[in-house]
Amino acid sequence: MSSIKNIGYACIIALFTYCADKEIIQEPIIIKPAVKAWKLVYVDEFDGTAYDQKYWTSYQTQSWTSPWNHYVVPNDASLAEVKNGNLHLRARWNTITDLPETGAIQTLNKLSFKYGKLEVRAKFTKSGVGAWPAIWLMPQKPVYSGWPQGGEIDIMERLNNDSFVHQVVHQVDGNSNPISTDSKPLISTSDYNTFGIIKTPYKIEFYVNNKLISTYEATDNRKEKWPFETDFYLILNFACSDKGQSGKSFWPGNVTSTANFPYEMAVDYVKIWEEEK
């Protein structure tokens, strides 16, 4: 009788062991993250002979001037010229004043977005010492007033003849101390590159040539005065240094030769997508 019991116990133990083994070797269920679906909501391929004034306007002279806009000449078609399917942004040298003159356009009060994907395709057709082309975003209605409190998103800044660009974010922390980050991805210096961001709640992803370069999130000392949950508009410009006459500190350094002017960035397109829900 005890032998029969022992056999019964052994069978029960074997059954539990078998079930346990089956649970261990069972294939896991893999849940893949959902791939974002994007809907194109704006595109400008700069066809025709002038930029579309429904969306773009010339950057105007300000009562204050920063190094980047110190030499902007408003409403000068030769500094922001549309031809051959490109927007040609230029910096030229005025031999009479011995100073640069630069082009800039923006979508202020005409086109902005809070969340989505933005991409600009451009190439640097001519550059040199003092060159400072940029593709960047500023707040349409800042959450916090002033700079850098209101936030700034620099999708691309290039200095001189560098083989890389800067992708920069500016804001302040909870004590109003400036915060800046800077990534330096390599680029093609002779062909088109694509520069872009994906902006979602409390996160900004930066891309160059469809490669994720960096991610900026509302973490640590960025959280308390995070200024990016609002609409931002786009600025395209080609800033330039002078020879030191203004006394301003230009990021690329001062111009040491004017032999290679005019400088130029050719913009092939601007595209904006919204995420499909």
Other beta carbons within 10 angstroms of residue 227's beta carbon come to 21
Report the C-alpha gap between 214 and 53 in whole angstroms.
33
Task: Render 24-83 in DSSP notation, one character per residue.
Answer: HHSPPPP-PPPPP-EEEEEEE---SSS--TTT-EEPPP-SS--TTTTTB-TT-TTTEEEE
φ, ψ (nearest 5 deg) of residue 25: -90, 0
157 is catalytic: yes
Handedness of CA 37, 110, 236, 155 (dihedral sign): negative
> 263, 71 in Cβ contact below 8 A?
no
152 is catalytic: yes
Report the C-alpha gap between 85 and 218 in whole angstroms.
38
Q: Among residues 27, 152, 217, 224, which one is catalytic?
A: 152
Q: Tokens representing 48?
A: 């025709």
Q: Among residues 81, 119, 157, 264, which one is catalytic?
A: 157
Closest CA to 178 of 170, 186, 169: 170
User: What CA dihedral angle connects 181, 186, 191 and 196, to 10 degrees?
Assistant: -40
Please list the active-site residues. 152, 157
